[in-house]
Amino acid sequence: MASNSKVLIIGATGCIGKFIVEASVKSGHQTFALVREETFSKVHTQEYFKSHDVEVLIRFLPSEFGMDVDRVHAVDPAQSLIEAKSQIRRVIEEENIPYTFICSYYFARTSIQNLFQPELEAPPRDRVHILGDGTSK
């Protein structure tokens, strides 16, 4: 089942990523895996990728779990953090360090796990606080 398509999988060594790599390979796609060097240390992962001609791309991936710091406007104390992260981006670019910025945004990383109730460590089981009047889709 040959295919001319190319698939880049970001987070290919993660819990879900490894299954996406496998599905891509089985579907006949030329598959590329963007990984951090420290997460690519598992021997069985390296062997699987090599035996299935998955091309591994090792890149520096700064933590951007929250927002694209070059596109957000905020007030302190958040603005100070955003400015620091933005300065790190500029240094990376100036030094010509190969990089990939991936912004997973605040909602997916932080809020969904406790349904916007920061005092909880897991999704509520008995009662959920609905923001707004509860009629929004």
Catalytic residue annotation: 85
> Contact 73/83 with Cβ under 8 angstroms?
no
State phi, psi for 99 to the nearest 5 degrees: -150, 165
> Contact 31/5 with Cβ under 8 angstroms?
no
90 token code pair: 């500029």
Q: Cα–Cα distance between 50 and 52 in angstroms, integer?
A: 5
